[in-house]
Amino acid sequence: MSSTEAVKTRENMKVLDLVYIAIGAALIAICSWISIPTAVPFTLQTFAVFFVLLLLGGERGTVATLIYVLLGAIGVPVFAGFSGGIGILLGNTGGYILGFLFIGLIYILFTRFFKKNIVIKVVALVLGLAVCYAFGTAWFMHVYMQNSGDIGLITVLGWCVFPFIIPDLLKLSLAVVIARRIEPVVK
């Protein structure tokens, strides 16, 4: 391969990376709009974050997640319920959205320092989800106490974490199955 061909190949890969990242951010936005109405509404945001990381890899998946968060921060209605704006991120549940970035960062660390097999990937995503829950819960408590008064940890966990654990683990399982089927097509 000549140096000119190598440069073209690298440029094509950069463009392809940008396309994959844009598609990943769009997928997270679309999945955030899909809501399953229950007492506590469930969206497919976490499914999309897991799926994008598994399919695109840690770096591209985390950048796609960051772009999703930034789009929402500037007011593009990419968050649940077609909402957007910095107020959402600074509100009670904004920490959970920002926590998606921790899932990506932990995924990057695990897949860089350990073998990139499916067990390591799943462990990284589960640990990332736990950190997302912890960060989001601390954020929720801080914002809630500033605006409404004291609240207990168990109460916040009952509102914001416990109802989501099983659905999020199911979403993770679904993301693994679908990503493994599609992965051979995506480079």
Cα–Cα distance for residue pair 24/11, rounded to 1 Å: 20
Phi-psi region of 85 (alpha: psi -120 to 50; beta: other; left: phi over 0): left
Residue 120 has pLDDT above 80, yes or no: yes
The DSSP 8-state label assigned to residue 80 in this structure reads: G
- 3-182 CATH fold: Arp2/3 complex 21 kDa subunit ARPC3 (1.10.1760)
Cα–Cα distance for residue pair 145/156, rounded to 1 Å: 11
Residue 7 has pLDDT above 60, yes or no: no
Cα–Cα distance for residue pair 144/28, rounded to 1 Å: 26
Phi-psi region of 75 (alpha: psi -120 to 50; beta: other; left: phi over 0): left
Residue 51 sits at the vertex; the CA angle it makes with 49 and 55, to the nearest 5 degrees, is 120
The model's pTM is: 0.91
On average, the pLDDT of the chain sits at: 92
Per domain, the residue ranges of the chain are 3-182
151's CB contacts (< 8 A; 6+ apart) are 141, 144, 145
Tokens linked to 118: 């499916």
- Can you name the residues that pair with 79 across neighbouring β-strands? 83
- For 33-88, how does the pLDDT look when each residue is reduced to its tens digit (9 = 90+)? 998 877 667 899 999 999 999 999 999 999 999 999 999 999 999 999 899 999 99
Indicate the range of 3-17, 72-86, 111-125, 161-175 predicted with least confidence: 3-17
Cα–Cα distance for residue pair 89/72, rounded to 1 Å: 8
